[in-house]
Amino acid sequence: MTDDRCPLCRLDEASALWANEQCLVIPAEVAGLGTICRVIWRGHVREMGDLSTGERRALMDIVFAVETAVRDCARPAKMNLASLGNLVPHLHWHIIPRYQNDAYFPDAIWAAARRPGAHYPLSDERLRAALRAALGPPGKPRL
């Protein structure tokens, strides 16, 4: 199920660091912070509760594996995991490495910046290798 008006339904799969039949892992840059990852459920559903039990488990297995991969690459002070979707109501998770000198710390990254903030970019190549180590090769179904 897709929605033509939804930006997450229209993502370019070529930008994914890892993908399978259910999810895409997409990097994003946040000013004053650096690289984060988003795990995006392919179907246009609004809430975790819209998934079957098996789908929820499969999604969270991927979210936690991406957390491990980003943590291994970034060596942050803390990891934040968030599923909001208030502006884009298509189920997705944000996997966010946090640093004591990022612009928002210790607030959520959607809060007002407290300082200019250091920027910690992660290379796509390094993230792809870490995701492959954590999740296996792209395209392998998780159910």
Residues that bind Zn ion (CB under 5 A): 3, 6, 8-9, 44, 90
* Other beta carbons less than 10 A from residue 23's beta carbon: 26
Least distance CB 41 / Zn ion (angstroms): 9
| Kind of pairing between the strands at 92-98 and 23-30 | unpaired
Least distance CB 85 / Zn ion (angstroms): 10
Cα gap 138→40, rounded to integer Å: 14
Least distance CB 91 / Zn ion (angstroms): 8
Query: 3-class DSSP state for residue 93?
Result: strand
Report the residue closest to Zn ion, judged by CB.
6
State which residue, 8 or 70, has the beta carbon closest to Zn ion.
8
State which residue, 55 or 102, has the beta carbon closest to Zn ion.
55
Residue 60 near residue 48 (C-beta atoms within 8 A): no
